[in-house]
Structure 1
Amino acid sequence: MIGETVLEINLKSLAHNFEYLKSKIKSSTKVMGVVKAFAYGSEAGEVALKLQELGIDFFAVAYTNEGVKLREVGVTQPILVLHPQSMHFETLIQNCLTPSIYSKFVLDHFIASAEAHKQKNYPIHLKLNTGFNRLGFANQELDGVIEKLRTTKAVQVEGVYSHLAASEDLKEKEFSLSQIKNYEAMSSQLIHQLGYKPLKHLCNTSGILNYPEAHHDMVRTGIGLHGYSNDFAVDAALKPIATLKTIISQIHEVQPGESVGYNRKFIAEKFTKTATLPLGHADGINRIYGKGKNYVSIKGEKAPIIGNVCMDMIMVDVTHINCKEGDEVIVFGPELSAEVFANLAGSISYELITSVSQRIKRKIIN
């Protein structure tokens, strides 16, 4: 009996996924592991250290403080900060983190910070906007970028990259191919003007699988390391690393006409046995998963979530299940995919797994 709600992180499954994804690229192609957002809701330090042990080349995080925490636990590989803010540049430099430079504002301020700290050839990665329209330099800005870089020796371009908007959706293949074409043209222009060749990287997990011609010098993977690929056929070859488990706190016998939970969103039409579980929307099991849309697994059987999800509790229908208080419950994991769980409510695995609250205990299985 686990006795409490826990998120188990299986590092052997992580290693399996890493090796599977490496099998899809050339041996010379580097791999960047994306471990932002607590490594997609799991445990960033343990995940990063395991990947470092496995020989990964780079890491990526969203924000500077995430990179600092990785340094504090012993991560020594290069760490790209995908969305740095200028107020954190001093901390970024002190921790040998690599900034993604995505606008003139960021470029100007980072060069000023690097010069103030007497840096020479500090590595940066330039982010190109090839159609996502989220972050990145537009094509018409590139001449200005090169002109600015020629005024300083404080920084050096280590990487040039972009991001595919719909690499998992083959109905958008034409758009993805247009992004690849734009990236080729923009990166070639930059490299020609720089006079040296930085690392080129474009593909995310779905890009690795669907666009091998665009692997370049390095690929990035986040969700794939965690056992999901946006393709159920590929998911069968991967292993979800996280299993969210909880227990039955109490069992109720609900008579016909009685209600369960806030706003009486479940009214029993017949005798119903319910189980109350100690996790709710404060733990990442949001209200969208209630009212019969989703289910958990108890003794290998489906137990639908009934009524509204509470902040700290959910109630499930166990009328048909021979269970008792204290029994283990699987919310998602290898037996009940987070992708399936999320899809039932119109969400995606990314949103579900990254929402798992930090108040839930993490248990590392190596």
Structure 2
Amino acid sequence: MPDTIIPSSGVLVGRAKLPGHAYPRIVTIRDGGVFDITSRNAPTVRDIAELDNPASYVAGAPGARCGDASQIIENSWSENYDPELPALLSPIDLQAVKASGVTFVASLLERVIEEQAKGDKARADSLREDVLKLIGADLSKIVPGSPAAMQVKEALIARGVWSQYLEVGIGPDAEIFSKGQPMSTVGFGADVGLHPISSWNNPEPEIVLVISSTGRIVGATLGNDVNLRDVEGRSALLLGKAKDNNASGSVGPFVRLFDSDFTIETVKSAELSMRVEGEDGFVLDGHSNMAKISRTPESLVEATIGRHHQYPDGLVLYLGTMFAPVKDRDGPGKGFTHKMNDVVSISTPSLGTLSNRVRLSTECAPWTYGASHLLRDLAKADLL
């Protein structure tokens, strides 16, 4: 097990499938082991996020050792999974799964290119040069919604290059959308899914905030907001089809809870690394620095939850990515798209590494265990 999969410090909480239990168990990491801390006080990760001090609760919760973290991580890979052994699941449960888009200039420009290309990846390279000439790459200096941003908007409209993506990239309102339903995300080692109709797609490495029902940010984890560039590029009204498919969002490996050593400021300065490794020998490396985000994480949370919109079970929020792969894979001008069995690894020292294998959504394990199943099982176990 690479040392980077689990951060070397911090209070971690997650979920695991344990033999002998029909429902996910709440777990934490202690001294290289995975400990089951499921209790009537907090039988779900949602319940832990609602506590006054989630990190203190998890750090002090009594628990039973389930096994070595390295062995459980190994068994969490879909191709290695043995149901007689523990395996990690997505570390969130009843929370709504939301995402923010176009929060970095690099991804903003690529969204404009997708729109102009109308989903045709063959046109992307030539359009990229044209769009950069018209828009420029200095939009990172503009505060979204500011008077300066509105002046740029008027100038771009006059030049005929205004876009719906520029509207949410530098306009007053952030793009917030539903990535998936509660309980729909997959965790470390699981397969992530691409809709079979897509032929131009990519991973999106992101930090994911965990937020209570009051709007308080209580922790963070890693996420892959799998993206279908051709589908969304044809029409922004196809965002749901592009983003919400079976196994199309991964989260993990654990949620790191905020404490004196890990805060929102840590998130704001995080450097994400991503690697795609294909069976064809192709390797793609990328980096995403949270310091380059155009809207603060706090402002994105405020745009999502407040008096205008409540989430009684809390939510998780993908913060967006600056990573838009353009490296040619199958020859000059071919650009990047996934191939089956690509392995995507997203990492940052404070949160560890989230790794998943890419398959078609139709070939990933079907999503059959939802909120109703969890609540029934917890009631049967006298945990509610």
| TM tier, smaller | under 0.3
Q: Relative contact order (C-alpha < 8 Å, sep 6+): which is higher? A: 2
Give the TM-score, by structure 2 length.
0.25
